[in-house]
Structure 1
């Protein structure tokens, strides 16, 4: 074993054991067998670090992270690395999905120090949690241009013993710089459409006209960018923006980045063409992709996009749903020790399963793509639209589609017998909130009650199992244990889900719950300056409380909170809530203009704030077939600033919560439709045909 360039006996003696077997996080449990004496992030761990005066080696990742697995195999399962870590450090493991506060804090540090970020995230801290070294993945041994973990551990431990005071001073300066970056003091500016115009210009500039998406490889789907683009196309009457959305969604759906057999979106494509994916599948990507596809369908009427949303929802309900109704976090990229093994195919394998004739047809529809590194096979992608292959009466489109779907099912059945990727089965409130919102929206647009019921089962699970006795929302549930006080994104995303459920089937309890969550959110996360902290006032403070409205792989909690406040304020005629949402946006206007694409979900909320309110009420004594047709006529249109409500005049309960329902009644048993724009109402109309004409006037 390599020797320390100092005497490890100089360290105070500490008895350590790997404590991760006591945890619930699948990621932490993956590292429980390591020879590294991993500790969880808790006060006992840092008390030990202070008592022994050892630096803390902090490793942050998640259970489905490919490079986290690589670093584990290379280093954390290695006895020499373990000996160095155990002798000179207090090693700490954190699941970034359980603790976004820790992850966000130290990811910002890593980006400050190195100009980049990612997982696994590697830091070294003082016993007071102040960072002084940051990196991402590190190889075991040094490579040209990249020091190895063994070398770094030796150098860092030596430096700590030789110049602890200097290191502490530098760490303190770094923490001050971090505090300056995260200072929530921002001057409020009036709301205007300048960030929206700037965003449209940037999307046009970076758009890949050949393959869809934006920029070069690697390409992330980033569905909330597409949701924003749909709004920009509508606001500025910009057909080019609509075309960008359609092209990108179709390129993703037809590419290897989308699972052509079992459905669902992989994390990103490593190439410009969307052909070769990084294979992990995350719940939040599926949810935001469904929302983007549904909105693009509403804006264009493109039925294939609605089918894409349905397919993605089918993946959620087949592979990520828990027996109790909520949704798991995602699936790994790796199986059998390599990335993508579960998803890859060889030509001869497909031919043996399908037979020669159907294989030829399948290969014509679905190409196979590979590259160096995918040694075990190639990725399926849709090479040609099915319509292009239906060239004879003998092989009409319906027959072709049925044969190809049968071939897909045959291959899927064979694939399901392979060793599956690991599934991270913990349940997170925030990510479930996104899934609930997506399924409720899709169910409302399609009239598929089963999707709405699936969303409701998840919402009931969270309300039942992830609330403390005092009402405090908790973040994570696994193996009958709920833990970790919820963060801003948990409250905001779950409130969004409850609001979408209300708009899907008009149950007033959903509206009540959305409002209650929002009120609790404002109490727990208010920063005193018009913004919202990401961590609550009762949470552990990691260096300081953060206020980060920037949208990343997920929308930020602040962006969804702003939209929730605007929508609830308008729906309930609560000007205080609407004004609070506007203030959140006003505080960010300067940054929105500078970096609009970094705030895509925030700009969706800004688009809402700048749009005149729209309320559509169907007053009906019963939900007849005509009423259902009238509901569908609205829901299949893209009206992001609008509310559609079904009101039964037999009760006045709804008018107590939603004042603009007052006085809106049916006529002689027939449904009567009311449309109010910018708080000015048109004369009511009766019947589907008159209602369609009224809706057409909105879009004209």
Structure 2
């Protein structure tokens, strides 16, 4: 086991003068020492002769006629660490693999194309998937075996890595033709999966009603969320339900979303001391989380809580959104302005150590009286609820607790806030989990969207500054001179052609940034990148691939259709094309969005819970779609009251353009503003609904009435 804390290990290895090392890393390292990924660097001192993914490794496999051992994971993955400590740091495993296999390590966050391809293989062969992902490939990159975590030694019916290596080494010599045949068959299955049906679906609201019914069937009426353990946040499901609730005045759809958001905040899934969401709950109650924290979860959850705040007007949801962003800015912000990938579940060699408490630890920080109160409120006991310690959680929100204790809510809130700050300061002295400090374009796009929307809705201008800094960093460091986006930045190095999800997520972030601050630069860039996206990823049949036509193809170019922890890139691309088509007046963009939506919709009709983001786009497409142009009489005019009207309720199908005097740039970008002038020298709002424009109004009250009509 490595003596370093993972963060210290990555820092130490990142500072080594690589120019003094031989091409294979030398006696102390393997070839991963030359990589930027924290996950790959964590394995650079393994005795395994690891290669990064690339032609060099496969050429050697062909030359020496050896199978490839492929391991895919990420740096904040608990079970990846377990397998690393048990096997990859073990000399016996190295002696079993190095002579007979070419070993390749992949960071799934850097290369989702590799991960998606071989995860599909794992699911085809085993019926399930997860990380670490373990594959055996031919030198032609064709898979013939797949699994997830494997122990070093066989146990409990699970084959161990040593036995697998011995068996495959023998089969490679005695039954190579059968292995090649298996690999070819799997490859053909992957190619068939990529073929898309030509049939398109009609855009109608019945698909949304059916989705609501699907969610209702799996809704947990006791603990909220959907299905049984484990439970994932999947915030885009909740954003969809809030839109369905609004469209059909469907209280049940709204209740499912709101109760889930409430339980997520109250349970151990939410870090009650430092804020932010953990990855998922291992139980049905949202109590015991898998403790890693991911950037995309924070961003998507913020957007869902903001939707709930607009849908209900209840401050609880806006407050949670603010709390999540407090964590994001405090702990995930990179010194250069963008945001890091996430934080590990483990510290001090154990999962959750950083986050759990005993009553004695709490009293030592707060004193007996305040400590006892906090222990009672957060369910902290001597016996504990997690390996003898306690995950802090709330059975009820602060308002209900205040009633129960006959304490004014403000007083109880202040007491808990003071205690939380003391515990946060005490916790900061613990050994912190490793932070993966890669910057990914797509995930930053989601964070930019969340920050920008929160800045606008919660009147927090500092948040738009954070969003703009992140966007500017991506545009300066992760966009080539030719305008092509790259996926990953770390330690001064930008690399890997961006994927469809990077384009769609980042375009979404830029669009939200424009809607929050009306900076024309971001609208112009979103439009430019959208047109570039269509050029790079189109299949000439109206559909999109995951990888660009200028990037490496891993058996196939991939078509990730289903939402997972993050929305499908193609689904968010649909929404972007529809919205930007309306903002710009570019009917071709809008038509591409509608065509892609119709093409993807048949699969969503069959399995709506896997296509929430696509159905969000459908909700927008069905309208009524509204564009509001606010014309200013002079550069100093502030349309504060009109923007407040537009932002105080959930209006997911309403877009806003701010027309400043003599704004030639916006007039060039956005056709809807070109004939919208100021009336009587006053701030003037023009509402166009489904391409039919109303008479202009000059007060917030008139605008509110018009929006309600």
Provide TM-score, normalisation by structure 2: 0.94
Pick one of 57, 67, 86 that aligns with 1:55: 67
Correspondence for 2:318:
306
Kept in 2, the 8 Å contact 1:276–1:370? The answer is: no
Correspondence for 1:285:
297
Kept in 1, the 8 Å contact 2:571–2:613? The answer is: yes
1:460 and 2:472 correspond: yes
- 1:522-576 Cα offsets, whole Å, 9 max, x none, are 1110111111000000111111211122111111110111111001111112111
Q: Which moved more, 1:552-561 or 1:186-195?
A: 186-195
Q: Per-residue deviation at 1:624?
A: 7.1
Q: Per-residue deviation at 1:686?
A: 2.0
Correspondence for 2:675:
663
- 1:227-282 Cα offsets, whole Å, 9 max, x none, are 11111111222011111111110100111000001000000000111000000000
- 1:349-405 Cα offsets, whole Å, 9 max, x none, are 111211122122212322238999933511001233222343599942222211110
For 1:169-318, what aligned pairs fall within 5 Å after superposition?
A: 169-318=181-330
Kept in 2, the 8 Å contact 1:186–1:588? The answer is: no
Kept in 1, the 8 Å contact 2:67–2:101? The answer is: yes
Partner Cα distance (1:536, 1:393) in 2: 59
Secondary structure of the residue aligned to 1:616 is strand
Partner Cα distance (1:647, 1:471) in 2: 28
Partner Cα distance (1:409, 1:432) in 2: 28
Correspondence for 2:617:
605
Correspondence for 1:595:
607
Partner Cα distance (2:91, 2:411) in 1: 60
Q: Which moved more, 1:172-181 or 1:648-657?
A: 648-657
Q: Per-residue deviation at 1:694?
A: 2.3
Correspondence for 1:692:
704
Correspondence for 1:82:
94
Pick one of 458, 465, 490 that aligns with 1:446: 458
Q: Which moved more, 1:100-109 or 1:581-590?
A: 581-590
Partner Cα distance (1:378, 1:372) in 2: 5
Partner Cα distance (2:202, 2:222) in 1: 38
- 1:86-114 Cα offsets, whole Å, 9 max, x none, are 01100100000000000000000000000
Residue 686 and residue 373 in structure 1: after superposition, are their counterparts in 2 closer, same or farther (change >3 A)? Answer: closer
Q: Which moved more, 1:611-620 or 1:557-566?
A: 611-620
Secondary structure of the residue aligned to 1:341 is coil
For 1:496-645, what aligned pairs fall within 5 Å after superposition?
A: 496-622=508-634, 627-645=639-657
Partner Cα distance (1:657, 1:467) in 2: 21
Q: Per-residue deviation at 1:626?
A: 6.8
Pick one of 414, 420, 423 that aligns with 1:408: 420
Partner Cα distance (1:410, 1:337) in 2: 25
Partner Cα distance (1:394, 1:568) in 2: 52
Residue 375 and residue 304 in structure 1: after superposition, are their counterparts in 2 closer, same or farther (change >3 A)? Answer: same
Partner Cα distance (1:387, 1:190) in 2: 46
Q: Per-residue deviation at 1:187?
A: 2.1
- 1:459-503 Cα offsets, whole Å, 9 max, x none, are 000111112222221110000000111111111111111111111
Residue 614 and residue 369 in structure 1: after superposition, are their counterparts in 2 closer, same or farther (change >3 A)? Answer: farther
Partner Cα distance (2:391, 2:496) in 1: 39
For 1:5-44, what aligned pairs fall within 5 Å after superposition?
A: 18-44=30-56
Secondary structure of the residue aligned to 1:92 is strand
Pick one of 637, 650, 663 that aligns with 1:651: 663
Secondary structure of the residue aligned to 2:110 is coil
Correspondence for 1:4:
none
Partner Cα distance (1:690, 1:545) in 2: 51
Residue 637 and residue 392 in structure 1: after superposition, are their counterparts in 2 closer, same or farther (change >3 A)? Answer: closer
Pick one of 327, 344, 359 that aligns with 2:371: 359
- 1:27-86 Cα offsets, whole Å, 9 max, x none, are 000011111111110111110010001000000000000000000111111111111110
Kept in 1, the 8 Å contact 2:358–2:384? The answer is: no
Partner Cα distance (1:63, 1:633) in 2: 44
1:429 and 2:464 correspond: no
Q: Which moved more, 1:57-66 or 1:592-601?
A: 592-601
Residue 370 and residue 227 in structure 1: after superposition, are their counterparts in 2 closer, same or farther (change >3 A)? Answer: farther
Query: Structure 2: which 5+ residue stretches go unaligned?
Result: 1-25
Correspondence for 2:695:
683
Partner Cα distance (2:407, 2:557) in 1: 63
Secondary structure of the residue aligned to 2:354 is helix
Residue 246 and residue 625 in structure 1: after superposition, are their counterparts in 2 closer, same or farther (change >3 A)? Answer: farther
Partner Cα distance (1:644, 1:75) in 2: 55
- 1:297-328 Cα offsets, whole Å, 9 max, x none, are 11111211011111001111000001110000
Partner Cα distance (1:684, 1:522) in 2: 36
Kept in 1, the 8 Å contact 2:601–2:614? The answer is: no
Partner Cα distance (1:334, 1:186) in 2: 47
Q: Which moved more, 1:264-273 or 1:627-636?
A: 627-636
Partner Cα distance (1:383, 1:373) in 2: 14
Give the paired residue count: 683
Q: Which moved more, 1:173-182 or 1:665-674?
A: 665-674
Residue 371 and residue 553 in structure 1: after superposition, are their counterparts in 2 closer, same or farther (change >3 A)? Answer: farther
Provide TM-score, normalisation by structure 1: 0.95
Partner Cα distance (1:370, 1:482) in 2: 49
Secondary structure of the residue aligned to 1:342 is coil
1:164 and 2:197 correspond: no
Cα RMSD, aligned residues only: 1.8
Partner Cα distance (1:310, 1:139) in 2: 42
Partner Cα distance (1:141, 1:670) in 2: 77
Pick one of 130, 140, 143 that aligns with 1:128: 140
Q: Per-residue deviation at 1:623?
A: 7.3
Kept in 2, the 8 Å contact 1:474–1:484? The answer is: yes
